[in-house]
Amino acid sequence: MGITGLLPFLEQATRNCNISEFRGATVAVDSYCWLHKGATACADILARGEDTDVYVNFCMKYVKMLQKFDIKVILVFDGNHLPAKALTEKRRRETRKNAKVRAAELLRLGKKDEAWNFLRQSVDITPLMAFNLIKECRRNNIDCIVAPYESDSQLAYLNLKGIADVIITEDSDLLVFGCSKVFFKMDINGNGRLVDKEKIAVCMKMKPDNYSFDKFRYMCILSGCDYLDSIHGVGLKKALKFFSMTAETDPLKFLDKVPRYLNLKNQVVNEEYKENFMVADATFRHQIVYDPLARKLTYLTDPAVSGTRPEYCRNAGKFLDENIAFQVAVGNLNPYSYEKYDDWSPSGNWSSSLHSIWSSNYVKKISRRAQKEIDKMENLKLESIQAIKQNKLETEKKIVDEVQAFKFESQLDIYYSKSKCNQLVYSKKEERSEEENMNLEVIKDEPHNIEKQESTLYKENSCEEEFVKDKSPILNKKFINPFLKKKLSKFNSVEIDEKVIVRSKYFHSKSEEICYEQEKIKEDVKILYEKNNDTVSLPTKRKYSFEEKEYKVDENTAGSDLLIDSSCNAIDSKSFATLSQPIMKSSKKPKLSRCRSVGLSVTSHKQQTLQVFFANMNAKKN
């Protein structure tokens, strides 16, 4: 019954819950599941062919439990057998017959416990048993509907059309028909397992872009269902593996790839299996059901819209006469033999106050959860509308405030630029008007100074205007940098003449002092040479490296021994004695220490020549 292993496969899409979560909703129930459970309690009585109402009372307990949670109940019963399930029904009849024979043998042997198990398997729910439950439901004003064929497709139709919010059943085929929410294994307290259609993609481990409900249905049919047997060795896991490997969606094309993709040796998919596969798919999609609102037979989904061939719908059922279909749907006729059980009419026996699917003015009952969602959406709409209005008012108010502020600032600018500034500046202009008149008379004599005088006057006026702005803290808001630690405006600026050169004591080295002293000595030598024309020759015993400059000698002093300095001036012996240090450099480089590899070292006194020493002595005597 159903798809083998489908509920464990959908474990990730299943959760435990109580039916009270759907308080105020409409629930459609697969009544034959409750009848099978109730019949097991009186299997021995039914096996003997005796009448009993145990199974009816069992079903009514569940109905009253649902009504306690303010849930509207619709009981759905099976109708005639489909041609597609002829083989399945034949197997079930043989199983029940064998179980009944086995139970009788065990009872003769005195094995009551084992016999009881076989008695439960031998129970068959007849249309008369279903009619007994329907009559009890009519007394309690509970809606019942008998499907023209299978109850699974009828339940799916009620769910897809929005008449029922949840389906209660034990048959996993309901998921293949496309029901959104199916409640399995419900106990007398309302606890059970809820499977959500939207989470099936998670169980198939497919991305939302690759998943489609058609793939799920194809997988279930390929693994084996009531309408078609599976390929030998193919179950749900292998079927899922195959559909994860292929992107083909046409059954006539992807069925040829099944043996090759799944490594099924000696397995061939023939044309007959392909056709049966398409027929089974059409039976799930386009089975004939009864519409209680329109009171006529219809397809679960229209095959013309989906493009299904008519020959594939041969097992989906046949259309009956409207009157016969209606009498079967309300439970007055036997769905197999069309034997008449009753002549009950929903319009004549029920009052119009009842919320029934058979009433002409039926309106679907909205569940409390759905009503809360609707109210929530309406509240959100109202809040959004109010927010839009509030934002509109705020923006309008902001615009008005900005316009008023702009007008106020423009008025202040007028007062600032004309009245205040002119008053302050004009008072100062009157004070110095006499001085300016005096200056203008002088400027007439000097026309080249007119432009300069006008520029100075313009600068003074602009400075006065800036002075006014600086003195107005209200009209001029100064920008203050909060990250500035020191106010540089406190420090007075120092102006230095560009002609004055100041030596820094921090970056002044001793070598620079020596060079500076040498330059002073040169100037002193020039002065001495001008006073004394006598020159002295300088004996040279050691080589010296003079600065690389061109020297010129006069013709008068060409024959004499003269010392020529860098400024092309001859120096006599007397003036040379005044030199504390000669203007020459030793060719021998001074040794530098290891740590001081850069820079010049001062020439030591030991490196001075004897001539320099005696020259200094002579200078002291003089």
Task: Report in angstroms the alpha-carbon separations of 615 from 235, 282, 518, 526, 611.
Answer: 124, 132, 17, 18, 6
Reported as a single tens digit per residue, the pLDDT across 314-336 is 888 899 999 999 999 999 999 98
Q: What's this model's pTM, rounded to 2 decimal places?
A: 0.60
Phi, psi angle pair for 166, to nearest 5°:
-135, 150
Q: How far apart are CA 613 and CA 608, in angstroms?
A: 7
Q: What is the pLDDT of residue 306?
A: 86
The answer for residues whose C-beta is within 8 angstroms of residue 200's C-beta and 6 or more apart is: 10, 13, 175, 211, 213, 216
CA–CA gap between residue 414 and residue 555 (Å, rounded)? 85
Top-confidence residue, 542 or 492: 492
Using the predicted structure, report yes or no on whether residue 82 has a pLDDT greater than 50.
Answer: yes
Within 13 Å of residue 237, how many CA atoms lie on the same side as its CB?
A: 3
pLDDT value at 559 more than 50:
no
Q: Residue 105 — very low, low, confident or very high, per pLDDT cuts 50/70/90? A: confident
Distances from the Cα of 358 to the Cα of 145, 164, 207, 257, angstroms: 9, 14, 43, 49
Of 96-105, 136-145, 527-536, 547-556, the one with minimum mean pLDDT is: 547-556
C-alpha 3: how far from chain center: 38
Q: Which residue has the higher pLDDT, 415 or 131?
A: 131
Range with the poorest average pLDDT among 176-185, 455-464, 495-504: 455-464
Across 395-409, average pLDDT: 79
Tens-digit pLDDT profile for residues 449-474: 444 444 554 444 555 444 444 444 44
Report residue 30's pLDDT band, with 50, 70 and 90 as the boundaries.
very high
Burial status of residue 261 (CB atoms within 10 A of its CB: 0-12, 13-18, 19 or more):
middle
Q: State what percent of residues in the chain have pLDDT above 90.
A: 27
- Give the pLDDT score at 430: 54
Judged against a pLDDT cut of 90, whether residue 113 lies above it is answered with no
* Number of alpha carbons in the 13 Å side-chain half-sphere of residue 270: 2
**Alpha-carbon distance 253 to 244, whole Å?**
15
Q: How high is the pLDDT of residue 121?
A: 83
Helix (H, G, I), strand (E, B) or coil at 75: strand
Query: How confident is the model at residue 514, as a pLDDT?
Result: 67
**For 347-382, how does the pLDDT look when each residue is reduced to its tens digit (9 = 90+)?**
765 555 567 888 877 766 666 666 677 778 888 888
- CA quadruple 553, 559, 561, 564: dihedral, nearest 10: 0
Query: Is 371 within 8 Å of 24 (Cβ atoms)?
Result: yes
Strand (E) or helix (H) holding 55: helix 54-68
Under 8 Å CB-to-CB from 159, ≥6 apart: which residues?
28, 165, 166, 167, 179, 180, 181
Distance CA 621, CA 601 (A): 32
Distance CA 74, CA 26 (A): 8
Homologous superfamily (CATH) for 6-365: 5'-nuclease (3.40.50.1010)
| Domains in the chain: boundaries | 6-365, 372-490, 510-621
pLDDT single digits (tens) 14-28: 999 999 999 888 999
For residue 276, how far is the Cα from the chain centroid? Answer: 46
pLDDT at position 422 over 80 = no
Phi, then psi, of 146 in degrees rounded to 5: -100, 125
